[in-house]
Amino acid sequence: MEEKVKKSLEKVRPALQADGGDVVFLGVDPDGTVRVQLTGACNGCPMATMTLKQGIERLLKKEIPEVKKVVQG
């Protein structure tokens, strides 16, 4: 599942980089929780939670049904 997650994150990465940010994959827990770190302009941005949940989490859940949630850190 790790490789699937990394491949899916590559789809969202250009949009984040266009705004001066990025996402770093940290790992997948056995319960389907994906851990990522938002970096650059995304780190501490007021919209970071929305980006994480409505952008990254929604994409990953759609492409990889085993993903249950995405969390920072």
All structural domains of the chain with their residue ranges: 2-72
Q: Could you say which architecture CATH assigns to the domain 2-72? A: 2-Layer Sandwich (3.30)
> DSSP secondary-structure letter at 7?
H
Backbone angles phi, psi at 65, to 5 degrees: -55, -20
Report whether pLDDT(16) > 90: yes
Reported confidence tier of residue 43, pLDDT bands at 50, 70, 90: confident
pLDDT band at residue 45, thresholds of 50, 70 and 90? Answer: confident
% pLDDT > 90, the chain? 86
- Tokens at 73, concatenated: 């850190």
